[in-house]
Each structure stands twice: as structure tokens, then as C-alpha cells.
């Protein structure tokens, strides 16, 4: 009897740990969407992620991931919600990596065209990628259940 109770507590602890990872990852995704993705004139002009549709989509996905992580943390999320949130975070990670590559290409083009613009990539997209990887890694804590 005690082994079944111990196993149940272990699964609950793993689910809550996964929920905490998803909540933290979602918060990082939202924060990254709000931070500058590109700066011009040595940081005087900042372009945040939420100015475009990609950034708004990342912000919405980050909010969904954080909300799903919060429900997992309090123990109200089912298996489909937990796995769905991790899958959404993996999609956000892949999309953000593609956006990083596109941002670097655009940055090189800006520097080649007009070096006086002093263009620099911002910190927002790397924060989004890190947060999405953290949230997607939560599925590894569940151990197949």
C-alpha cells in the first residue's frame, strides 16, 4: 500500500515540477516578446517583438504556455493539456530559431547597407528561445505518463 502512495506522490511531484518549468518558460517567452528584438543607433531606437505579427503570436503563445504551466502546477491540468503545452512550446522554439536566423540576415543587410545605423540584434529573441526550450523540456519530467 505504501508503494502505491509513494508512486502517486512521485507522479504528482513530477507533474508539478513540469508545471513549474512550463510556467517559468512561458514567463520567459512573454518577457522576450516584450524586449527589443533589434536596436538602431546604438540602442536609441528599439524595435520590440510586439510591434509585428510574429512577436504578437509569440506573446500569445507564451501566455498560453504560462497559463497551462500554472494549471499543471496547481494540479488541475490533464495529460492532454500538459503535453499540448509542451508541444506548443516546442513549436515556439522552432519558430523563434527561424526568426533568429532571419533577424541575423536582416542585421547583416542593414550593416552592409548603412553602417551609420549602428544596428544590433536585441536580447528578446534569445530569451524567447531559452524560455521555449525550458517549457518544452517539461515533457521529459513526466516520464511517459
- Listing DSSP states for 82-114 in one string gives HHHHHHHHHHHHHHHHHHHHHHHHHHHHHHHH-
Q: How far apart are CA 98 and CA 74, in angstroms?
A: 33
Q: What is the pLDDT at residue 143?
A: 62
Give the largest Cα separation in the chain, rounded: 72
Q: Phi and psi (nearest 5°) for 51?
A: -75, -25
Pull the grid cell for residue 94: 522552432
pTM of the model: 0.89
Q: What is the pLDDT at residue 5?
A: 62
* Contact indicator for 106, 1 with CB cutoff of 8 Å: no
* Contact indicator for 84, 68 with CB cutoff of 8 Å: yes
Q: What is the pLDDT tens value at each position of the chain, 145 positions in all?
A: 456 666 778 778 888 899 999 999 999 999 999 999 999 988 889 999 999 999 999 999 999 999 999 998 888 878 898 899 999 999 999 999 999 999 999 999 999 998 888 889 999 999 999 999 999 999 898 765 5
Q: What is the pLDDT at residue 1?
A: 45
Half-sphere exposure of 84 (CA within 13 A, CB side): 11
Q: How far apart are CA 126 and CA 144, in angstroms?
A: 29
* Contact indicator for 48, 34 with CB cutoff of 8 Å: yes
Amino acid at each position: 500500500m505504501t508503494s502505491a502512495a509513494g508512486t502517486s506522490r512521485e507522479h504528482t511531484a513530477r507533474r508539478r515540477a513540469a508545471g513549474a518549468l512550463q510556467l517559468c518558460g512561458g514567463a520567459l517567452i512573454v518577457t522576450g516578446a516584450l524586449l527589443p528584438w533589434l536596436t538602431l543607433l546604438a540602442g536609441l531606437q528599439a524595435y520590440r517583438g510586439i510591434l509585428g505579427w510574429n512577436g504578437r503570436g509569440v506573446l500569445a503563445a507564451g501566455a498560453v504556455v504560462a497559463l497551462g504551466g500554472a494549471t499543471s502546477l496547481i494540479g488541475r491540468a490533464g495529460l492532454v493539456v500538459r503535453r499540448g503545452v509542451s508541444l506548443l512550446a516546442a513549436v515556439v522554439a522552432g519558430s523563434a530559431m527561424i526568426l533568429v536566423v532571419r533577424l541575423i540576415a536582416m542585421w547583416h543587410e542593414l550593416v552592409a547597407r548603412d553602417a551609420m545605423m549602428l544596428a544590433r540584434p536585441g536580447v528578446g529573441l534569445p530569451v524567447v528561445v531559452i524560455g521555449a526550450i525550458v517549457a518544452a523540456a517539461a515533457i521529459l519530467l513526466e516520464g511517459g505518463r
